[in-house]
């Protein structure tokens, strides 16, 4: 039998207990509030079918051929123009179309990190980003965060100097995964100014920014220091995640390095998918389509908040009240470990993501992430009631 000699970095490749636990949710009787999946009823299937036909009939050979590593030029132009809404002045030659914004995180890690490099993240932060950075074996430090996001004073405290200076800080300012929290304009200005003074780039990840309920977000962090920050966007939450279409916007000083890493990974994002996306969005489709997604998600958020008020009052549980996005965050009494409680919740036919998975350091065990966008309102009501029953039983055990 062959004995494989694995790279040392593979020791860090751990899918984690969460992925194993979530396999339990495949039972159709279980209502999953765990996954970060957009609601399938929002996918514009008919529009996609027409776009496929149009692309194949008008440019079929080109759509099925290899293409430029940085992506389809008209789509890059569209991205650059669309980002003006966030106060950004971007040239198309700063845009790389990626295979989902998750690939953007991988490219950034490859270009900016050595083994032992320090990076900074929010507390808590997106689990998928930690997984993307992990293969480069960095040292990850958590910046203290509150309801508005990372605290600028702690960024200064954690920045480091010399060889120990942080290479970048990873931030999700809009309806953050996992907490759903939102960074207001005052905090954005303070954080961007602090990072600029320290010379620490911000990697701004914005997959949820179009999913606002009350008002659009303020100008992006990147717009405040465009020569220093990197911006990631996605079509997954406004069109369809299966297309795997995202984009990365980088300062020209490092663009070529990121493009080299992209081409080394997969040459380019799928040509056909890029052309399909452009065909769908080029004439303003998203301006009509995204408001329908917002309305649906707001209805479901309201249903979950109402169910939490109804079922959880008096249990010592608190939760965020997101003004956009797909997630909210529960804080449970300190004696409850949501990882340990997970199998008992499954027994009550409800699933969530234990909060410890979203911490880079010193995981806190009494939290969970809930998604309100995939389940129906009826399922949300049933699931929150079942979750409350589980918590009551857990409190009785402690």
Q: Which residues contact 201 (CB under 8 A, 6 or more apart)?
A: 112, 167, 168, 169, 195, 228, 229, 230
Assessment of whether the complete model's pTM goes beyond 0.85: yes
pLDDT tens digits for 8-66?
Answer: 888 777 666 556 656 766 788 999 999 889 999 999 999 999 999 999 999 999 999 99
pLDDT tens digits for 220-238?
Answer: 999 999 999 999 999 999 9
Query: Do 62 and 120 fall into the same domain?
Result: yes
Considering the domain boundaries, does residue 7 fall inside one? no
pLDDT tens digits for 343-370?
Answer: 999 999 999 999 999 999 989 999 999 9
Q: What share of the chain in percent tops pLDDT 70?
A: 97
Query: Do 242 and 227 fall into the same domain?
Result: yes
Query: Do 241 and 379 fall into the same domain?
Result: no
Alpha-carbon separation of residue 54 from 14, 95, 285 (angstroms): 43, 25, 15
Alpha-carbon separation of residue 21 from 1, 169, 199, 275 (angstroms): 31, 30, 40, 38
232 DSSP β-pair partners: 205, 248
Asked whether the beta carbons of 191 and 222 are under 8 A apart, the reply is no
CATH number, position 264: 3.40.640.10
Domain extent, residue 192, equals 45-283
Considering the domain boundaries, does residue 56 fall inside one? yes
pLDDT tens digits for 105-124?
Answer: 999 999 999 999 999 999 99
Examine the fold and report which residue of 283, 302, 318 is the final residue of a domain before the chain moves on: 283
Query: Do 295 and 244 fall into the same domain?
Result: no
Query: Do 208 and 66 fall into the same domain?
Result: yes
Alpha-carbon separation of residue 196 from 189, 204, 221, 360, 381 (angstroms): 10, 14, 11, 24, 45
Considering the domain boundaries, does residue 258 fall inside one? yes
pLDDT tens digits for 240-276?
Answer: 999 999 999 999 999 999 999 999 999 999 999 999 9
Query: Do 49 and 30 fall into the same domain?
Result: no
Examine the fold and report which residue of 283, 312, 334 is the final residue of a domain before the chain moves on: 283
| CA–CA separation, 151 and 178 (whole Å) | 17
Examine the fold and report which residue of 226, 256, 283 is the final residue of a domain before the chain moves on: 283
Asked whether the beta carbons of 18 and 363 are under 8 A apart, the reply is no
Alpha-carbon separation of residue 24 from 21, 338, 370, 385 (angstroms): 6, 15, 16, 20
- Nearest C-alpha neighbor of 172 from the set 215, 130, 117: 130
Say if strands 169-171 and 118-121 run parallel, antiparallel, or are unpaired.
Answer: parallel
Query: Do 55 and 158 fall into the same domain?
Result: yes
Three-state SS at 328: strand
């Amino acid at each position: 039998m062959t004995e494989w000699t694995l790279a040392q970095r593979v020791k860090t490749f751990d899918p984690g207990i969460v992925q194993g636990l979530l396999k339990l949710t495949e039972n159709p009787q279980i209502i999953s509030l765990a996954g970060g999946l957009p609601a399938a009823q929002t996918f514009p299937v008919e529009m996609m079918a027409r776009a496929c036909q149009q692309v194949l009939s008008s440019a079929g050979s080109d759509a099925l051929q290899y293409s430029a590593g940085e992506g389809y030029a008209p789509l890059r132009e569209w991205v650059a123009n669309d980002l003006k809404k966030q106060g950004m002045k971007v040239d198309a030659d700063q845009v790389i179309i990626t295979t989902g914004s998750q690939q953007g995180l991988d490219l950034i890690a490859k270009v900016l990190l050595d083994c032992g490099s320090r990076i900074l993240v929010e507390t808590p932060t997106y689990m998928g980003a930690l997984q993307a950075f992990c293969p480069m074996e960095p040292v990850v430090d958590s910046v203290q965060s509150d309801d508005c996001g990372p605290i600028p004073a702690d960024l200064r405290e954690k920045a480091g100097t010399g060889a120990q200076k942080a290479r970048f800080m990873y931030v999700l300012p809009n309806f953050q995964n996992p907490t759903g929290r939102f960074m207001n304009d005052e905090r954005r200005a303070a954080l961007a100014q602090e990072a600029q003074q320290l010379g620490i780039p911000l990697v701004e990840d914005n997959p949820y920014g179009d999913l606002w309920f009350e008002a659009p977000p303020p100008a992006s962090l990147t717009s405040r220091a465009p020569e220093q920050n990197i911006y990631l966007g996605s079509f997954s939450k406004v069109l369809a995640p299966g297309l795997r279409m995202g984009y990365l916007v980088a300062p020209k000083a490092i663009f070529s390095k990121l493009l080299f890493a992209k081409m080394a990974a997969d040459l380019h994002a799928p040509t056909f998918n890029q052309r399909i996306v452009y065909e769908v969005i080029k004439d303003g489709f998203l301006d009509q389509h995204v408001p329908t997604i917002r309305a649906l998600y707001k209805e479901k958020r309201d249903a979950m908040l109402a169910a939490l008020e109804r079922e959880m009052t008096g249990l010592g549980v608190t939760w965020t009240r997101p003004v956009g996005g797909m997630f909210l965050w529960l804080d449970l009494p300190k004696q409850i470990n949501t990882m340990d409680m997970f199998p008992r919740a499954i027994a009550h036919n409800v699933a969530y993501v234990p909060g410890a998975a979203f911490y880079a350091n010193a995981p806190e065990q009494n939290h969970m992430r809930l998604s309100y966008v995939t389940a129906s309102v009826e399922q949300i009501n049933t699931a929150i009631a079942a979750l409350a029953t589980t918590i009551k039983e857990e409190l009785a055990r402690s």
